[in-house]
């Protein structure tokens, strides 16, 4: 019985530790990505962004997503890939108005995704 109690408490402790780490890690990663998107958005708005700026955000995202795949469903990650690639293509062609809309969507996804995995009433049910 002592063994069962030890195993149970260990499993609970590991789970709680993992929950706290996941919450912190996902929020931090998406926070950094949001900051990069905010900078890109400002540049696109003032029409000073280049394709390289878009590629830089994409490189940052590619680095983060390789680890985020462990915690976030892969479909959610592929949405960001899709919108980011579209934004990069539009920046490459110098279509700032269209690119602005794409970056706006990306900003919203980056804000909403960590929330979708936090412990909230609406997420539980």
Partner 1 sequence: MALIFIRTTIIFVVLLLIMRLMGKSQIGEMQPFEFVISLVIAELACIPMADSSIPILYGIIAIVTIFILHEIVWLFELWFKPVKNVVSGKPSVVINKNGIDEFQLKKNNLDVSDLIESMRVAGYFNLDDVYYGIYEANGSFSALEKEEKASCSLPLMLIDRGKADTQNLARCGFDRDELKKFLQKQNCKEKDVVVMTVNGEGRVYFQKRGEHYKILQCEVNGQW
Tell me if 2 contacts partner 1 by CB under 8 A.
no
Q: Which stretch binds partner 1 (CB under 8 A): 28-36, 67-75, 83-91, 105-113?
A: 67-75
Q: Is 60 exposed, middle or buried (CB count within 10 Å of its CB: 0-12, 13-18, 19+)?
A: middle
Query: Which of 48, 50, 74, 82 touches partner 1 (CB under 8 A)?
Result: 74
Asked if residues 61 and 33 have their Cβ atoms less than 8 Å apart, the reply is yes
CA distance 88 to 54: 5
Q: Is 84 exposed, middle or buried (CB count within 10 Å of its CB: 0-12, 13-18, 19+)?
A: buried
Q: Which stretch binds partner 1 (CB under 8 A): 30-38, 66-74, 87-95, 99-107?
A: 66-74
Tell me if 66 contacts partner 1 by CB under 8 A.
no
Asked if residues 57 and 37 have their Cβ atoms less than 8 Å apart, the reply is yes
CA distance 74 to 19: 19
- Please, which of residues 14-43 interact with partner 1 by CB under 8 A? 14-15, 18-19, 22-23
Task: Tell the smallest beta-carbon distance from residue 47 to partner 1 (Å).
Answer: 37
Instruction: Give the Å distances, CA to CA, from 68 to 16, 18, 62.
Output: 19, 14, 10
Tell me if 13 contacts partner 1 by CB under 8 A.
no
Tell me if 79 contacts partner 1 by CB under 8 A.
no
- Specify the residue, 59 or 118, whose C-beta has the smaller distance to partner 1: 118
Binding site for partner 1 (CB under 8 A): 1, 4-5, 7-8, 11-12, 14-15, 18-19, 22-23, 69-75, 117-119, 123-124
């Amino acid at each position: 019985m002592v063994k069962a109690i030890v195993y149970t408490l260990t499993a609970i402790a590991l789970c709680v530790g993992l929950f706290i780490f996941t919450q912190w890690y996902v929020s931090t990663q998406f926070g950094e990505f949001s900051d990069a998107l905010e900078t890109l958005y400002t540049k696109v708005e003032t029409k000073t962004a280049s394709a390289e700026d878009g590629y830089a955000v994409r490189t940052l995202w590619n680095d983060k997503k390789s680890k985020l795949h462990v915690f976030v469903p892969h479909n959610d990650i592929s949405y960001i890939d899709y919108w980011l690639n579209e934004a990069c293509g539009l920046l490459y062609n110098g279509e700032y108005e269209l690119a602005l809309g794409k970056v706006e969507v990306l900003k919203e996804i980056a804000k909403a995704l960590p929330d979708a995995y936090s412990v909230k009433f609406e997420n539980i049910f």
